Amino acid sequence: MRFLKVIPLLLLSSLLLGACTSHYQGQNERVLIADNVEFELVSTIPFKNGLTLTQSATVTYNTETHDLIFHTEIRNRTLTMVGLTPTGTRLFTIVTKEGEIRAEGFSSIIESIKPQFLLADMQLSLWPMEQLQANISGAKYLEINALTRQMTTHNKALISIHYSEPDFLQGQIEFTHHQRGYTLSLTPIAVEYSTND
């Protein structure tokens, strides 16, 4: 995951590239999430009544660990995800609605990653299984139990997702990509469900 390789540059980027931003726009497409494994992003968004979610994120890649904040809002069938440093500096914003994806942020980040990768990780972690399984080719994606999801290929674990609570949003989520060697640990800071769409 190329995003993880530029994390050590995030703070430097925030200082040196404050006025240098990039923009991305595209449609949902198939994301190569591993060797010979593709995932087509789901165009529909659950949580139809609206959701505001703030999570602290610890990313471990090889031997390096970095902290981020993810703030996600779902309103009117639109998902907006903002990535922040722990001190509150905005690194990127991703907006998706009905299959269209828009992103903006520091050039060093937007040009080094594809927003689809972050959306794929989020969907694989939080979207209902019945919306995901038909969109994956080259691997099997199963719910092992109420607290574990796993993607396998050739009888080997490719992605493992563990939850501390049956209501995924209310507890910790640990997303591990075994092939790429990274782990994303998410802890909820604030979860708010809206009564209006």
| CATH code at position 25 | 2.50.20
The domain containing residue 175 runs over which residues?
A: 2-193
Q: Residue 25: its pLDDT value, please?
A: 61
How many angstroms separate the Cα of 61 from the Cα of each of 54, 108, 119, 140, 182?
22, 18, 19, 24, 4
Nearest to 161 by CA among 172, 169, 153, 150: 150
Q: What is the mean pLDDT of residues 130-157?
A: 95
- The answer to whether 60 and 182 have CB atoms below 8 angstroms apart is yes
Q: Residue 109: its pLDDT value, please?
A: 64
Q: Is the pLDDT of residue 151 over 90?
A: yes
- The answer to whether 88 and 10 have CB atoms below 8 angstroms apart is no
Beta strand residue intervals within the chain, DSSP E: 21-27, 30-34, 37-40, 51-61, 64-75, 78-84, 90-97, 100-106, 136-137, 140-145, 148-153, 156-163, 173-177, 182-193
- The answer to whether 125 and 33 have CB atoms below 8 angstroms apart is no
Instruction: Give the total residue count for the chain.
Output: 197
Q: Residue 110: its pLDDT value, please?
A: 59
The model's pLDDT over 90-143, given as tens digits with 9 standing for 90+, comes to 888 999 988 888 888 876 665 655 688 889 999 999 999 999 999 999 999 999
Q: Is the pLDDT of residue 14 over 80?
A: no
Q: Residue 133: its pLDDT value, please?
A: 92
Helix, strand, or coil (residue 163):
strand
Q: Is the pLDDT of residue 156 over 70?
A: yes
The model's pLDDT over 34-86, given as tens digits with 9 standing for 90+, comes to 889 999 999 888 887 889 999 999 988 878 888 999 999 998 889 999 999 89
User: pLDDT band at residue 15, thresholds of 50, 70 and 90?
Assistant: very low
Q: Residue 8: its pLDDT value, please?
A: 47
Nearest to 81 by CA among 51, 107, 108: 51
Q: Are strands 78-84 and 90-97 parallel, antiparallel or unpaired?
A: antiparallel
Q: Residue 113: its pLDDT value, please?
A: 59
Q: Residue 77: its pLDDT value, please?
A: 86
Cβ–Cβ contacts within 10 Å for residue 90, how many? 15
Gap between the Cα atoms of 22 and 106, Å rounded: 6
Gap between the Cα atoms of 120 and 175, Å rounded: 12
Give the number of domains in the chain.
Answer: 1
